[in-house]
């Protein structure tokens, strides 16, 4: 069971993310067609403007397409960094400016689960390019250079504590900040990549406020799980366990009553029923386990 849950975390979570990314891509492309300025079909750099009718993003809305060619990462970014949003793709801290606008746009993402959009951000080198497409245009960021204070080496990232709020600072110029857990498979630290905007920023839009939603920068949004998942996690776990027991019981005790007098035929029929029970029951149990694992994963920190 533990090994199956590990397999689900590493690969199964990607199924829901892939489905979410498909839906987000369709919605984002539709928004681009509706709100972006008209440009020639062969123009890959839309005019940087802020149409007055650009919608205020709601939590969970697609807000940008982030592409990092050097590490083969191409994802739709969503608004918000709660667990349920990070399961869909990289999440934008709503208390920071949108990508492409003046200031520091901060983004969080998974490194080992949910398709791991930031799995290889430790491989980004100074000077590498990060492209972000929003409703206001396409923007290019260049990865900054950082010096390791201990070893004196230069790289494209730094390592900070989970409570280091400097990633949200707004007095650092026009840049993009990417954050994920570090080392992989743990949440003890954070890896941070910063990149500087290479062109003029788009006009700023107001930072949205969401009723009943905390966007306090003093809290680590990645540290805790979703406690509301407990009822569903317990229910589906028990359901999967009962189904597992039911399949075993049928395979073990389902014997024909009309053919008991002929031992050989009974034995053959029992073997057939044994195999058939597991062949039919196992996929059913696995589906229930997948649903149970999905809700159990909601209880875990978002930062893996």
The fold of 2-204+212-220 is Sortase; Chain: A; (2.40.260)
Core vs surface per residue 42-56: b (16+ CB within 10 A) or e: eeeebebebeeebee
Are the C-beta atoms of residues 75 and 133 closer than 8 Å to each other?
no
- For the chain, the structural domain boundaries read 2-204+212-220, 228-297
Mean pLDDT of 169-188: 91
- Among 49-63, 72-86, 146-160, the minimum mean pLDDT is found in 49-63
Phi and psi torsions of 231, nearest 5°: -60, -45
pLDDT in tens, 95-134: 999 999 999 999 999 999 999 999 999 999 999 999 999 9
Where are the strands (E) in the chain, listed by range?
Answer: 62-68, 73-79, 91-92, 104-108, 129-134, 137-143, 146-147, 154-155, 158-160, 175-182, 189-197
- Whether 212 has a pLDDT exceeding 60, the answer reads no
Beta bridge partners of 64: 77
């Amino acid at each position: 069971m533990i090994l199956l849950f590990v397999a689900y975390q590493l690969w199964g979570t990607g199924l829901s993310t892939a489905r979410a990314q498909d839906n987000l891509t369709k919605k984002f492309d539709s928004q681009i067609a509706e709100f972006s300025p008209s440009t020639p079909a062969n123009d890959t750099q839309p005019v940087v403007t802020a149409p007055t009718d650009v919608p205020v993003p709601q939590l969970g809305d697609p807000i940008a397409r982030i592409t990092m060619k050097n590490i083969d990462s191409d994802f739709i970014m969503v608004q918000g960094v709660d667990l349920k949003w990070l399961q869909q793709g990289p999440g934008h801290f709503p208390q920071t400016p949108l990508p492409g606008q003046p200031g520091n746009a901060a983004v969080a993402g998974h490194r080992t689960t949910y398709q791991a959009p930031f799995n290889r951000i430790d491989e980004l080198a100074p000077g590498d390019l990060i492209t972000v497409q929003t409703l206001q245009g396409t923007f290019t960021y260049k990865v900054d250079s950082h010096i390791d204070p201990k070893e004196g080496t230069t790289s494209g990232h730094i390592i900070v504590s989970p409570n280091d709020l400097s990633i949200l600072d707004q007095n650092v110029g026009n840049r993009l900040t990417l954050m994920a857990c570090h080392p992989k498979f743990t949440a003890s630290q954070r890896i941070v990549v910063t990149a500087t905007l290479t062109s003029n920023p788009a006009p700023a839009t107001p930072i949205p406020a969401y009723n009943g939603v905390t966007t306090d920068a003093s809290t680590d949004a990645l540290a805790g799980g979703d406690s509301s998942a407990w009822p569903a996690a317990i229910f589906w776990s028990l359901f999967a366990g009962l189904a597992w027991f039911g399949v075993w019981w049928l395979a073990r005790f389902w014997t024909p009553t009309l053919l008991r007098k002929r031992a050989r035929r009974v034995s053959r029929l029992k073997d057939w029923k044994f195999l058939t029970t597991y062949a039919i029951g196992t996929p059913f149990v696995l589906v229930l386990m997948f649903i149970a694992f999905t809700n159990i994963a909601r209880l875990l920190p978002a930062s893996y």
